[in-house]
Chain A
């Protein structure tokens, strides 16, 4: 964070926005993944109290740091996230570009929108994105993802060698567009019950919650924004088409309709990773995930621990007790 200089950032909000294109502008892609009770309360001044705390935190973060952002690229992912762009545009004057990310299977819209976005980004950069530049960016980000994958493999291994608490710290570097991903993390072989994490985004500030969960459990896989979702991007052709294909064909976000592929992906991952339980993390007023929690319990044949959060740490003691009880149950089931 210390190396951030004015107007060097291009904010973005969604896993479907290709970081390679943002980076080709020469700006640093900075994913808006702030979630902090203080920021959230600040955000209450701009939106109603029943807005998602991630959205409120991000609005407050951008308002505080508006001089650092040259532009913001949003998407139509969830409704509040889409409308967050309106609020930021209205309150800051930062140029905002919202990508129409179709909810249904409609590659034509997505591809057209990436073409549109590329034109906007070229204008910001005042240069054409040549095939060579794009290939360079793909290589550079591929390398970062590879570094994260190495850590992720250790996390997934049996026994798991890296905690998600540590993995999250490495992910933060990626999502904040840092030049380097921390290559070595302490390995800590662990035989705690293996669980899978899914649900709302894990914010930059949510590390203590991961830590609390991992006091008793080991999260060996996840499907959350802010953690390993970026690792599902595997670009095969080193060009624009390769970017479009890789981002469009990634395992789908929960908001995609119908959501069968989402559950198929989760089920395969949970089985492959030999997880004995699921931790479903949802944020207050996060419709996409709140509506799905019961479905998750039905669809995936594993015990589920529901954690609902507003990013405050006020209920950490209760949460610790619930995690303890969940762990005991998983151990008893072995």
Chain B
């Protein structure tokens, strides 16, 4: 398929036509948990639209087999989790920390981690306010992050199976989710609370703490590492009680596997963001970045998919072909959009995402392999996006702006989200060398002509300034 079809973004109908050409053996080849009986996930994306993800009919997707696998795999996550439970695996909810606790859970082969937090995309893909309305009925205020849909998902228990353990990370992070996790506990779920300390900036006038730096150069007081180590050891102990297996060597192996994933994503980003013509759309890239959190509940298959993605985009980059125009305007994206359609809209208006800050920096960095595993996890988590200052959070975007790689920045905010409210002005100030557009992501089905016009005007302005 790779060599036969020119890369482009296509809609559901085209994908369905293209899907008919796939050989049966290929469809049977790809399966989650390696299970040939019920693990097949390759379907035309229209299937998922029929089953409820109505927004898919408005989206355009990459036309590669790798992208088909990517969408098929991510959209079967709910099914996968239920299958996992039915087949005797322990389903573990890891909430709030976005990327570190699952590494511990994955060290237990009979356990599957997942992030209920990721339900925040569901109302948008489904073009439905059912979850948001239910969250409101349950007490979540309307002016709060769309992640409140998680609360409703816990209430309905139809989107994922009942987890056997729930790890809830709180502390220096957004308030909305901390409140939602508390409401989940109030429903009767037993949560293990974990503390995420604040990564206090190192100021010249601070005394009395020994400082260290993460592998991304972020400074932190060394004692904070020990706080996290204690928390991760608690996770390990809890997991030991539930799992039949608990070899420390498995944690090392899990770190290695997650590092393989993280390195692969860095390579993919490097190719996609630096190729003269974008070899993969921004929407698929967002899905790829978020896969680092937990490998969409089957890291082995996800790794295999990403190997294929890399092969595809590397091939495209070498041939100088891609899915967007050569003169697409390079932009940076700050804070992930809950509505995936926005990524399509920006590209339709001539933009191209070349740098991102999706509040998951902790899941993108490598975990050290030559030190004690819990220390390594703690040190990797200290790179987290939301536990420190805004300036630290957007440091890589600032670098991209300063080196001229980025012509403009788009920030997608959520009304009432605590960090969006406080960070946007600082980000605008930090990145004042380039135009910044801050958008409030509207509720499902809320993308109006007015919003499209704002985006169009922003992109036109960038075209003028870059030409």
Residues of A within 8 A of B (CB): 45-48, 50-52, 55, 76, 78-80, 82-84, 86-87, 90, 95-98, 100, 102-104, 106, 108-109, 112, 115-116, 119-120, 123, 255, 257-259, 284-285, 287-288, 290-295
Contacts and interface: CB of A to CB of B under 8 A. Distances in A.
Given A123-B205, A290-B144, A291-B139, A87 B426 contact: yes
Interface in B377-432: 389-391, 413, 415-426, 429
From B141, B176, B182, B422, residue with most partner A Cβ within 10 Å? B422
B141 to A, nearest CB: 4
Contact of B172 (A82, A84, A90): A82
21 contacts: A48-B424, A55-B422, A78-B418, A79-B418, A83-B418, A83-B423, A90-B391, A98-B198, A104-B195, A112-B223, A120-B206, A120-B207, A255-B175, A257-B168, A257-B170, A257-B181, A285-B416, A288-B179, A291-B140, A291-B144, A293-B139
A100 B172 contact: yes
Q: Please provide the 5 A-B residue pairs with the shortest distance between their CB atoms, ordered closest to farther.
A: A294-B139, A291-B179, A83-B422, A119-B208, A79-B418
A106 B421 contact: no
A87 B139 contact: no
B171 A103 contact: yes
Interface stretch (B55-63, B105-113, B183-191): B183-191
A291 B193 contact: no
B450 interface: no
A201 B26 CA distance: 61
Contacts of B139: 291-295
A321 B108 CA distance: 60
Contacts of A51: 421-422
Contact of A48 (B168, B224, B389, B421): B421
A257 B178 contact: yes
B200 interface: yes
Contacts of A293: 139
Contacts of A258: 182, 185, 191, 193
A301 to B, nearest CB: 16
Interface in B217-267: 221, 223-224, 227
A226 to B, nearest CB: 19
B422 A47 contact: yes
A38 to B, nearest CB: 19
Given A257-B168, A285-B143, A86 B175 contact: no
Interface residues of B, number: 56
Given A48-B421, A258-B182, 8 more contacts: A48-B424, A50-B421, A79-B172, A82-B198, A90-B429, A108-B227, A255-B175, A287-B144
Contacts of A100: 172, 197-198, 200, 224
Contacts, number: 147
A80 B175 contact: yes
Contact of B175 (A87, A97, A288, A294): A288
Contacts of B424: 47-48
A96 B194 CA distance: 27
B209 interface: yes
B138 interface: yes
B224 to A, nearest CB: 8
B203 interface: yes
A137 B425 CA distance: 39
B174 interface: yes
B422 A87 contact: yes
Interface string B153-187: 00000000000000010111111101111110110
A90 B421 CA distance: 16
A38 B70 CA distance: 51
Nearest to A59: B422
A291 to B, nearest CB: 4
A333 B185 CA distance: 33
Given A48-B422, A50-B416, A79 B390 contact: no
Nearest to B205: A95
Given A104-B195, A120-B206, A48 B413 contact: yes
A82 B181 CA distance: 20
Contact of A86 (B168, B181, B389, B413): B389
A295 B183 contact: yes
A90 B208 CA distance: 23
A98 B176 CA distance: 21
B419 A79 contact: yes
Contacts of B391: 86, 90
Given A76-B198, A290-B144, A295-B183, A103 B170 contact: yes
Nearest to B194: A104
A291 B223 contact: no
B421 A80 contact: yes
Nearest to B144: A287
B197 A109 contact: yes
B172 A80 contact: no
A83 B198 CA distance: 11
